[in-house]
Structure 1
Amino acid sequence: MIDEVDAVELFLLKGASIKLAVEEANSNPRVSRSIAEENASVKASVSQFSAEVRDNAVMMAEHYKLFYMLENDIRRLIDDTLTEDNKGPDWWDKYAPDSAKIEFKGNLQREQDAGFTPRSDNPLDYVTFGQLGDIIRANYSLFGGILSNQKAMGRVMFSLNNLRGPIAHCGLLAEDEVDRLKLTVKDWFRLLEGPK
C-alpha cells in the first residue's frame, strides 16, 4: 500500500512541476510577443494578395497536403522495402537506377551551390516523383509482393506525376483533375492491397 501512495504522490508532484513549467513558458512575454508578431507579419503579407489568389491558395493547399502525404509515403515504402529486404541501409548505391542517382546528385549540388541547408541525409528526398517510379520499376521483384500489378503501378505513377505539376508549381487543378487526383490516390491504395 505504501508503494501505491508513494507512486500517487510522485505522479502529483511531477504533474505540478510540469504545470508550473508550462505556465512559466506561456507567461514569458518575449516568447508570446515573438509568436504574435510572426503571425501578424504573415497575416499582413497574405492580406496584400487579392481575394481570388487567397481563395485559390486555400483550395490548392488541400491538394498539396494530399500529395505531400502520398509522395512521402511512397518514399517511405521504397526506403523500408529496400532496406528491409536484405539490401541494408546502403541499398542506394547498388539498387538505385542511374536516373535517380543523377537526379539526386544534381539537386544536391544545386542546393549546396545556393548555400541552402541540406534537406535530408536520405538521397530519396532529393529525387523527383518520376524517379521514385523508376526505383520501384528497377526493383519490382522486391515490390511484387506489396503492389498488385506492375503495369497498373506504372499507370498510377504516370498519372500522379502529371497531376503533381500544377500542385507543386502553384498552378490550379481543373475540376476534372481534382476528380482524377482523388481516383488516382484510391488506385494507389488499391495497388497496396497486393497481389490477389
Structure 2
Amino acid sequence: MNVDTKAALFIMLGKAATRSLDKIDDVVPSDSLHLSPSYDLAPLVPEVVRRSTEAAVAYRLFFVFETYLRELITEVLSENGKGSWWDKVPADIQTEVTKLEETEEIKSWMALGSRDKSALMTLPQLLRIIDVNWKGAFDEVIRDKGLVQEARLIGHLRNTICHMSAISEEEIARIRQTMRDWFRVVAP
C-alpha cells in the first residue's frame, strides 16, 4: 500500500470515527456555543447544542428566502413610481405591522435598530401580498403561482424551526428544493 493510499484510508477512518462519536448524545460536539469567551454550553448540554447546530441550517435557509421575498415584494410593488409599495399591502397586514412597530417603539431599549416595515412581516403575510398583487405585478416576475403554493407548504417547517424544534434532513431537503425552484424561475 503506497503512502497516498494509507493517508486516504487514515482520513476516511477518522471521518467515520467522528461521525460515530457525533451520534452519541453525551459526547461534547465539536461546535461550541459560547455565552461568553470562557463559558461554553457544549459541555453542559451537548445533545441540545448538537441539535441547535443542525437546526441552524434550516434557519439560515429561511433567513435568506424571507429576506429575498421582502426585497422582491418592495422592488416589484415600487416599480413605475405608482405610489408606495406599502399602499399595496392588504389593510389587515398593515394593521398587524403597525402594532408590531408600536411594540418595537416600546422596546427601544433593545438594540434592534430601525427596521423597515417589510422586516416585521411573516412568511404567510409576504405570500399573501404576492397573491393580492398577482395580476400585473407578480404574474410577470414569478410566472407560476405553484411556486407560491410550494412556499406556503414549507411555512410549517419555518414555524417549527422558529419555535426551537429541529426538523429532519428530509424536510431540510424539501426547503432546499422549494428554494431551488424559486431561484431557478424568479432569479435565474
Fold agreement, TM-score > 0.5: yes
Q: What is residue 160 of structure 2 aligned with on the other side?
A: 166
Instruction: Specify every segment of 5 or more residues in structure 2 that has no aligned partner in the other structure, as ranges.
Output: 1-33
SS at match of 1:186: helix
1:43 to partner: Cα distance: 5.3
1:5-24 superposed matches below 5 A: none
Instruction: Specify every segment of 5 or more residues in structure 1 that has no aligned partner in the other structure, as ranges.
Output: 1-38
* Number of residue pairs the alignment of both structures matches: 153
Q: What is residue 109 of structure 1 aligned with on the other side?
A: 102
1:139 to partner: Cα distance: 0.9
Q: Distance in 2 between matches of 1:95 and 1:132?
A: 12
- Output the amino acid matched with 1:107: L
Q: What is residue 182 of structure 1 aligned with on the other side?
A: 176
SS at match of 1:144: helix
1:92-107 superposed matches below 5 A: 92=86, 94-107=87-100
Q: Deviations over 1:134-164 (max 9, x none)?
A: 11111112011110212x0331221132121
Structure in which a larger fraction of residues adopt helix: 1
After superposition, the CA RMSD in angstroms is 2.3
1:170 to partner: Cα distance: 1.4
Of the three residues 60, 68, 71, the one matched with 2:66 is 71
SS at match of 1:173: coil
Q: What is residue 130 of structure 1 aligned with on the other side?
A: 124
1:118 to partner: Cα distance: 5.2
1:186 to partner: Cα distance: 1.9
Contact 1:156 1:184 in 2 (8 A): yes
- Output the amino acid matched with 2:169: E
Q: Distance in 1 between matches of 2:42 and 2:138?
A: 47
Q: Distance in 1 between matches of 2:171 and 2:79?
A: 36
In 2 relative to 1, CA 109–48 (structure 1 residues): closer, same or farther, beyond 3 Å? farther
Q: What is residue 53 of structure 2 aligned with on the other side?
A: 58
SS at match of 2:156: helix
- Output the amino acid matched with 1:156: E
1:58 to partner: Cα distance: 1.2
Give % identity.
26
1:84 to partner: Cα distance: 2.0
Whose Rg is larger? 1
Contact 2:35 2:41 in 1 (8 A): no
- Output the amino acid matched with 2:150: V
Q: What is residue 156 of structure 1 aligned with on the other side?
A: 150
